[in-house]
Amino acid sequence: ASQVSPNDRVKHLREFLRTFHDNRDIKAQLDSWGYSYGTEPVDIRAHVVPMTGFAFGQTTKDPYTSYPKADVNSANINVTGLAAVPEISKMFIITPRNQLRDKPQILAALRDGFERVRLNPTSIEHKDMTEGDSANHYIAAIRNLPPDTNVAIVIMQQQNKERYDAIKKAASGEKGVITQVVTAKLLLDTRKARAAA
């Protein structure tokens, strides 16, 4: 399963607005979400949930063309569907051992972020990594997620390319689960936590 990059999201929004620019109902809807028209096709003031219909395929072995396309229940803005918050039945938050003492503050920042985009997972479960925070420990934690997991949020202490690549490979390539990797350093920074979440 793939996720859409921030640049592609902006590109999709611009295409969407060019396609429907003269539709007053759609313009009013976009205004209510926090988008506005200016000299550029769109000035983004609202958070866009970074998932598309393609990310909701049942297995990574299937070609992405067989995945559900954008619709009001599963996708964000693209040329065929309006923005909607996807339904998430089970989310896991994976926390490494060296961040367990900061877990309440990290979870509070994430909760604030969920509320801001009206993301209400049916079930949020936690997986604490007690062994360590090497790439292998992250991979083991992801491999052991239940099969009905929709989304995993993985906390890393700070940026680390080897760990990030290992997490994404295990999650997308092996498990077929959508992941968002975020650093604890960012979530614990009071000036940046809201935007990061």
Please state the rounded mean pLDDT for residues 43-48: 40
pLDDT band at 195 (very low <50, low <70, confident <90, very high): low
Residue pair 84/117 in contact (Cβ under 8 Å)? The answer is no
pLDDT band at 82 (very low <50, low <70, confident <90, very high): very low
**What is the pLDDT of the chain when averaged over all its residues?**
70
Domains by residue range for the chain, with CATH:
6-66 (no CATH), 90-196 (3.40.50.2300)
Cβ burial 110-148 (10 Å sphere, 16+ → b, else e): beebbeeeebebeebeebebeeebebebbbebbeebeee
- For residue 182, what are the β-bridge partners? 155
Please state the rounded mean pLDDT for residues 183-194: 77
Please determine, for residue 92, whether its predicted confidence score (pLDDT) is greater than 70. Answer: yes
- How many other CB atoms sit within 10 Å of the CB of residue 59? 10
Q: Measure the CA–CA gap between 150 and 13, rounded to whole angstroms.
A: 25
For the ranges 12-21, 32-41, 110-119, 180-189, the lowest mean pLDDT is seen at: 32-41
Please state the rounded mean pLDDT for residues 168-194: 80
Global confidence as pTM: 0.54
Q: Measure the CA–CA gap between 65 and 74, rounded to whole angstroms.
A: 15
Please determine, for residue 73, whether its predicted confidence score (pLDDT) is greater than 60. Answer: no
Please determine, for residue 137, whether its predicted confidence score (pLDDT) is greater than 80. Answer: yes
